[in-house]
Structure 1
Amino acid sequence: MKKKQAALAAALALGIAVPVAMAADPAREAILAAYAAQAKAEDAAFAAFSAERGRSLYMGPHQGGNPETNACAACHTGNPAATGRHRKTGRGIEPMAVSANRARFTDAGEVEKQFGRDCKNVLGRACTAREKGDFITFLSAQ
């Protein structure tokens, strides 16, 4: 519990507003705090995550990745609270919005695994810590 409280304190110290949906889960807070610290280390001018930048990342379109999946919304739908569908397999994908899927962004290993795979597919490169934090911030408010 002390690690989670320290992560929240770090996020608040960096001036990051913690959305209500996020505040309900210490694991999500810790993940966001870790991305904030990394973003600050990568860019001293980093001040806070942006839900609007996260929305743009989610909605796309982007160039550089797979043209058929040039946005997260291509598989996850334009409504993050809706069930998505895998483009190739047709398998259902749990909603991305925290309001519809409270388990989203609570397992650091799973979060990194998904970003590692999906950023390359959508953007053609790895996501930055700021992009990851923006993305989680947007979906935490949905």
Structure 2
Amino acid sequence: MNRSILSSRGVNKTLLLSATLVTMATANAATPSEMLGSYRAESGSVEPSPSRGQQFFSASHGREWSCASCHGAVPTQMGRHVVTGKAIAPLAPAFNPERFTDAAKSEKWFRRNCGDVVGRECSASEKADLLAWLLTLKP
């Protein structure tokens, strides 16, 4: 077999392995700031905007609910699901240290809640904006 073909296959495998390792590292983000970095990288060159995040949180996006419908107008306090009445711990990481520390769990809730609120999955830039805003909320 031609050496250049073998060499290019090796490079492709190395690139694939590198991309996989980067994805795994971001999928296991341990802090909200690391998760914000993951969303920022995934969204490309758009810098996260806390003001866009706050607007996104409060808007109904043409549907019945907004994020604030369940998480409360102030996501630093307990919320309550509008249908089930189930209590929801504060969304802002400074008020709930478990928030945005498990990427798989965060993605599960983004998928579910964005479907209810926006009618689709949220983009990486929307997630970055929202998290950027939530990280500005301090006790």
TM-score for both structures, normalised by structure 2: 0.74
1:89 counterpart residue number: 84
> Structure 2 matches for 1:1-142, cutoff 5 A?
27-40=31-44, 46-63=45-62, 65=63, 67=64, 69=65, 71-142=66-137
How many positions carry a matched residue from both structures? 112
Rg larger in 1 or in 2? 2
- How far residue 26 of structure 1 moved from its aligned partner, in angstroms, is 5.1
Which consecutive residues of structure 2, in runs of 5 or more, have no partner in the other structure? 1-21
Q: Residues of 2 paired with 1:30 and 1:81: CA distance?
A: 20
RMSD of Structure 2 on Structure 1 (CA): 1.9
- How far residue 32 of structure 1 moved from its aligned partner, in angstroms, is 1.4
Question: Is the 1:54–1:134 Cα contact (8 Å) retained in structure 2?
Answer: yes
2:3 counterpart residue number: none
Q: Which AA in structure 2 matches 1:37?
A: A
Q: Which AA in structure 2 matches 1:113?
A: K
TM-score for both structures, normalised by structure 1: 0.72
C-alpha offsets along residues 56-111 of structure 1, whole Å, 9 cap, x if unaligned?
A: 11111211x4x1x2x10011111111100011111100011122111111110011
Which consecutive residues of structure 1, in runs of 5 or more, have no partner in the other structure? 8-24, 41-45
